Amino acid sequence: MTIFEKIAAREISAQIVWEDDEVMAFHDVDPKAPVHVLIVPKRVIPRLAESADTDQALLGKLLLTTRIVAEKLDLLTSGYRVVINNGPDAGESVPHLHVHVLGKRPLTWPPG
């Protein structure tokens, strides 16, 4: 089980921002910005590159959930960054697809 599966199963506590039957959003324990939330599907997809056509609705839901999280955390006006890491060279550390929402500070480009 990944750490995200354990959080979804309530075996590990997390500061949950939003949740429904398919997706949950919670604060990252090692934030890279004043607001750093992870949005995780409860059904395991190891990474974006391993998603299938049958995952289309869930993938869309993950992105739409970024707006819900941004609204709840007052990021809609100032802006926020959405990041999906895929593979070790991209910084993926947990093999469970997740979306990062970062905000409340200026974010430079390119990330590095």
Residue 112: pLDDT over 70? no
Domain boundaries, the chain: 3-103
Dihedral of the CA atoms 28, 30, 32, 33 (nearest 10)? 60
| pLDDT given at position 57 | 98
How far is Cα 33 from Cα 23, in angstroms, rounded to an integer? 22
pLDDT band at 35 (very low <50, low <70, confident <90, very high): very high
Q: Which CATH architecture has domain 3-103?
A: 2-Layer Sandwich (3.30)
Catalytic site includes residue 100: no
**Taking residues 32-51, what's their average pLDDT?**
97
Catalytic residue among 27, 36, 96, 98: 98
Q: What percent of the chain has pLDDT over 90?
A: 96
**Taking residues 38-64, what's their average pLDDT?**
97
**Taking residues 67-72, what's their average pLDDT?**
98
